[in-house]
Chain A
Amino acid sequence: MSRTLPAAGSLARCRALGVAVLLGVALTSGVGASSAAAQNVLRVANSGEPDSLDPHQVSGNWEDRIVGDMFMGLTTEAADGTVIPGAAESWTISDDGLTYTFTLRDHTWSDGTPVTADDFVFGFRRILDPATAAEYAYLLYPIKNAEAINNGSQTDPEALGARAVDPKTLEITLEQPTSYFIELLTHYTSFPIPKHKVEELGDDWVKPGNIVGNGAYTVVEWVPNSQVRMAKNENFWDAENVAIDEVVYYPTEERNTGTKQFRAGEVDVQYDFASEQIDFLKENLPEATHISPGLAAYYYVFNTKEPPFDDVRVREALAMAVERDAITDKILRTGEIPAYNLVPPNTGTYGEPPQVEWADVPYQERVEQAKALLAEAGFGPDNPLKFTLRYNTSENHKKIAIAIAAMWKQLGVQAELFNTEVKVHYNDLQSHDFQVARAGWVADYNDPENFLTLLRTSTGPMNYGQYSNEEYDRLMAESDATTDEEARNELMRQAEALMLTELPLIPIYHYVDKNLVSPRVQGWVDNTKNKHWTRWLSLAE
């Protein structure tokens, strides 16, 4: 029996009709927000979704950008990253360096209510209140009694060394002279909080539509995982110099997508593009590719309380055998800087940092010296050094770990690699459950102390490797109390030089900031803090 085919045409037509109807219904039911970029809107691929709009609940630099466009602390950053007056128009410091008196400029919150010194006191008290459980509260510990209030041993909030002398005058008293204090006040932990809004709305004050700020922009809309849209704050004290009307932050976590959006002209700025794109970008978008030194260090830390890493010879041998140029030039290739010390170049006014004494010794010679050191410490072909190298899961960390393990193999060292996700990794580092591990540190404020404090004995869990040196602690304490900047830098350099003879960690490289900035964005200045507040930017036609 021969089969006759059904009129395939009619069958297909039925289906086609069905498809068309379905699609039509589905697509036209979409509430379409026009995607055409309105004039004077800056679109930013921001590399992460904010956890919150509350300055006391954020901790990432992507959140910093949003919150920092909305609020302004006593001091703030200019386009080139230098510290300039913000909410405070001037200040005086007492001779003993303990009392700072700020005169606030006349300005208002975005709803027109004047900003007063009370708002700053309210903000400080709120972030240090143990009930707020703010992760970053410790940054304010230089303020008198801040630490005591934050850990609950001081229950009277009035004891905090911050008081409003009058609505326009704020007086802050410190525990001891802190020469980076003015710099510290640019950080979001020091932002004022609108007391009147919090008292009126409680926790709901942060919701878009309720939230008010004293910065150049206010949040108009937050669609989770889609965008944060901010509009120019007409009540900003410097509004006439703010050129951009709207800024939209897209939480593009997938960096390659962000770069494609940039190439298609859908975003004007991408923060932190993926390293693998560098060759393509350098060749095709050279004016848009911005690479500049940052304030972050990448290192391997030793658990100095666990043999054989309590032996400085072992630590030094392993540190010498790392060929940093190979890592920065062959693996990363985005201009990262090989590191022979911890504090990144151009941090604060640190000047010329100390380096390990073998920084200029050619690599092969270093390898020989390293072998000799290991032999001295009792390791060799019949007693190979074996340990576990930990890192948190990431392609680049893996490549670097593999490369360094191979470099160590020349010494007869057998390093086993073990990666875990970032939470587990840092959890174990803080409980000192490791032998050798990768770590990174991004500065909270632009001062060498923020890096060197990692190695004080008193630092606790953040001193992952439990390094403890009395002379180091003494030098650092003395630098804390020194008001003269140059003398202070000198003391810190001495401390770091001392630390580098003991090598509790292996400095590997210093980070660079990698941003894509469209040529139509004007006013962008690369700086080590990677702060580019929208108020300084404008769009060319």
Chain B
Amino acid sequence: MIGYLVRRLMISVPTLLIIITVAFFMMRVAPGGPFDQERALPPEIERNMLAAYNLDAPLVVQYWDYLKGVVQGDFGPSFKYQDFSVAELLLSGFPASLRVGGIAIALAVVIGITLGTIAALRQNSGIDYAVMATAMTGITIPNFVMAPLLTLVLGVYLGWLPVAGWGGGAPQFLILPVIALALPQIAYIARLTRGSMIENLNANFVRTARAKGLRERIVVVRHALKGALLPVVSYLGPATAQIMTGSVVIETIFGIPGIGRYFVQAALNRDYTLVMGTVIVYAVLIILLNLVVDLLYGLLDPKVKQR
């Protein structure tokens, strides 16, 4: 198992390198640069700015300099937010995205699996239809509709929760964004769980377990559910990475100082270093989470053997 882990981590280094390289060069293809705006810069000023940020060097040289910096932990300055380096921006923003995203995913996993299991156990009953219908609305209603709606009712009309803001991460500021983020995930997970639970509940090994006289609770939780969770776990890997790096929409609507907005804003601003920083964060997360998913597979599915 340790060998497996080490091998996986070693493969991830070249993977990351390829991702960084492709992103670096692809990003430069978009027309325009970080200092273009409504007012034309006098050419001398523009030249100075480009030189100050090393943007006038040949692209390959810039790439090499960037790699050298990354290896030492220097992600470069932000071209747009000039008082901060990319590392500072990411370090200050990531905890916020992580907190909101982490709670949302945790909530989604627990509630989603529960609902899915209940629906599967009471298949084709009223409860099943109710859960699945709710799941369907959760999936189809976009979060930029759901979020303002929740804000309007709970924030403006009832005044129970703040409309937006972060307040240093205090609980009342977390509730609405977490709900808005978690709802569609609950829906997906519930549906996934239900589907694969139904499949598993009819499987031979479950019939065997029941025939052995085991209590139904043990049959469901220890035997059927473990196998049923496999597709959920596969889904959760990339989904967690995506949620944890912040949703642009949720962060914009609720004014959360996370890194989600950087994914879009940095690209629009042609803030090359910040774009690269976000790409690296996301890539690292996905690689790590995929590794976790594969390890969980080993735990959950006795047919998988780690070699």
Q: Which residue numbers of A lie inside 8 Å of B, CB to CB?
A: 1, 3-8, 10-12, 15, 18-19, 22-23, 26-28, 30-35, 49, 51-54, 57, 59, 130-131, 133-135, 137-138, 150-152, 206-207, 223-227, 250-254, 256-257, 260-261, 263-266, 421-424, 426-427, 430, 440-441, 460-462
Contacts and interface: CB of A to CB of B under 8 A. Distances in A.
Contact of A52 (B82, B151, B162): B82
A4 B219 CA distance: 11
A53 B83 CA distance: 8
A19 B117 contact: no
Contacts of A422: 37-38, 268
A30 B170 CA distance: 5
Given A8-B121, A226-B255, A253-B252, A423 B168 contact: no
Interface in B90-148: 92-93, 96, 99, 102-103, 106-107, 110-111, 113-114, 117-118, 121-122, 148
B92 A224 contact: yes
B203 to A, nearest CB: 14
Interface of B: 31-33, 35-42, 44-45, 48-49, 52, 80-84, 89, 92-93, 96, 99, 102-103, 106-107, 110-111, 113-114, 117-118, 121-122, 148, 151-152, 155-156, 159, 162-174, 210, 215-217, 219-221, 251-258, 261, 268-270
A261 B166 CA distance: 13
10 contacts: A5-B216, A15-B111, A26-B103, A31-B170, A34-B170, A54-B82, A135-B37, A251-B255, A256-B148, A260-B148
A135 B89 contact: no
Contacts of B219: 6
Given A1-B210, A133-B45, A440-B38, 5 more contacts: A22-B110, A33-B170, A135-B45, A137-B45, A260-B148
Contact of A224 (B40, B93, B170): B93
A27 B42 contact: no
B164 A130 contact: no
A479 B171 CA distance: 61
Nearest to A206: B83
Contacts of A15: 110-111, 113-114
A423 B118 contact: no
Given A260-B155, A423-B270, A22 B106 contact: yes
B250 to A, nearest CB: 11
A410 B157 CA distance: 48
A197 to B, nearest CB: 14
B269 to A, nearest CB: 8
B89 A224 contact: yes
Contacts of A224: 81, 84, 89, 92-93, 257
A309 B177 CA distance: 51
A35 B162 contact: yes
Contacts of A23: 103, 107
Nearest to B113: A15
Contacts of A426: 36-38, 40
A423 B32 contact: yes
Nearest to B261: A225
B268 A421 contact: yes
A22 B107 CA distance: 8
Contact of B170 (A4, A35, A252): A35
A209 to B, nearest CB: 12
B165 A19 contact: no
B6 to A, nearest CB: 32
Given A6-B121, A133-B52, A138-B42, A207 B83 contact: yes
Nearest to B37: A426
Given A6-B216, A51-B81, A226 B257 contact: yes
A15 B221 CA distance: 11
Best-surrounded residue of A256, A263, A265, A462 (most CB of chain B within 10 A): A263
A462 B41 CA distance: 9
A12 B40 contact: no
A110 B256 CA distance: 31
Contacts of B45: 130, 133-135, 137-138, 150-151
Nearest to A265: B159
Contacts of A28: 171
Given A54-B83, A224-B89, A261 B257 contact: no
Contacts of A252: 164, 255
Contacts of B93: 224-225
Contacts of B89: 224
Contact of B257 (A8, A223, A430, A440): A223
B233 to A, nearest CB: 17
Contacts of A424: 31-32, 36
Contact of A27 (B37, B110, B162, B174): B174
A11 B217 contact: yes
B165 A32 contact: no
B37 A59 contact: yes
Contact of B49 (A33, A133, A256): A133
A27 B39 CA distance: 46
A234 B76 CA distance: 37
A266 B164 contact: yes
A423 B36 contact: yes
Nearest to A135: B41
B40 A462 contact: yes
A18 B106 CA distance: 10
B48 to A, nearest CB: 4
A137 B102 CA distance: 45
B276 to A, nearest CB: 18
Contacts of B155: 260, 264
B61 to A, nearest CB: 20
Contact of A461 (B40, B156, B163): B40
Contacts of A27: 103, 171, 174
Contacts of A226: 96, 165-166, 255-257
A11 B221 contact: yes
The 7 closest A-B pairs by CB, nearest first: A32-B170, A33-B168, A461-B40, A225-B257, A226-B257, A133-B49, A6-B216
A311 B221 CA distance: 80
Contacts of A10: 217
Best-surrounded residue of A18, A223, A251, A264 (most CB of chain B within 10 A): A264
A35 B172 contact: yes
Given A19-B110, A35-B172, A266 B165 contact: yes
A282 B92 CA distance: 39
Best-surrounded residue of A3, A223, A257 (most CB of chain B within 10 A): A257
A223 B80 contact: no
Nearest to B164: A257
B156 A19 contact: no
A260 B157 CA distance: 10
B139 to A, nearest CB: 21
Given A32-B169, A252-B255, A264 B220 contact: no
A424 B267 CA distance: 12
A31 B169 contact: yes
B236 to A, nearest CB: 15
B38 A18 contact: no
Best-surrounded residue of A18, A26, A256 (most CB of chain B within 10 A): A26
A58 to B, nearest CB: 9
A421 B235 CA distance: 34
A6 B82 CA distance: 60
A257 B176 CA distance: 13
B34 to A, nearest CB: 8
Nearest to A258: B164
B163 A264 contact: yes
A54 B117 CA distance: 57
